[in-house]
Amino acid sequence: MWTRDVFDFHGRYYTLTGNRNEPKPVQQPGPPLLIGGWGNRTLRLVAEQADIWSISGPPHNMLDYITERSAALDDHCAAIDRAPRTITRSVQYIVSYDDPAADRKTITELIAAGVTHIVLSLRSPYPPQAARWLADQIITPVRSATGEF
């Protein structure tokens, strides 16, 4: 799909005949592969194939569980002789407008636990100038405190 002009695919659930994918990806050999999930079979697949691992962050999955699942991913990497650091750890985090200090603390803890890609989600209704609020209340203070993010 990323290397040929026209291709066929015959899989278990889908069949594509004479398919075209344009434009081709800028990245070579293709865009980074992100796989989300936290079950053992999924983590094994992440270790084998993914560039980025994504897991839902707090409040869905708490820091201790994310840390435990990250260690399980490291074990899967060791089993296939892959360096765990070659996989970006990504978390989606839902920001609370009511307690930005708690958000900053949680995000700082995620960074300390090895998460290097954090997707910040805002819930509607959005406050006035939501992006500016996010930058001023969350991003800039976390960057100043950690040198990351």
Q: What is the pLDDT along the chain (149 residues), one digit of tens a residue?
A: 888 899 999 999 999 999 998 888 888 778 899 999 999 999 999 999 999 999 999 989 999 999 999 999 999 999 999 999 999 999 999 999 999 999 999 999 999 999 999 999 999 999 899 999 999 999 999 999 988 65
Question: Can you tell me the distance from the alpha carbon of 76 to that of 82, in angstroms, rounded to the nearest whole number?
Answer: 8
Question: Which one-letter amino acid corresponds to residue 72?
Answer: A
Residue carrying the six token digits 């009511």: 98
pLDDT of residue 148: 66
- pTM, rounded to two decimals: 0.82
Nearest one of 17, 6, 32 to 86, comparing CA atoms = 32
Whether the Cβ atoms of residue 121 and residue 90 lie closer than 8 Å to each other:
no
Nearest one of 141, 146, 77, 88 to 119, comparing CA atoms = 88
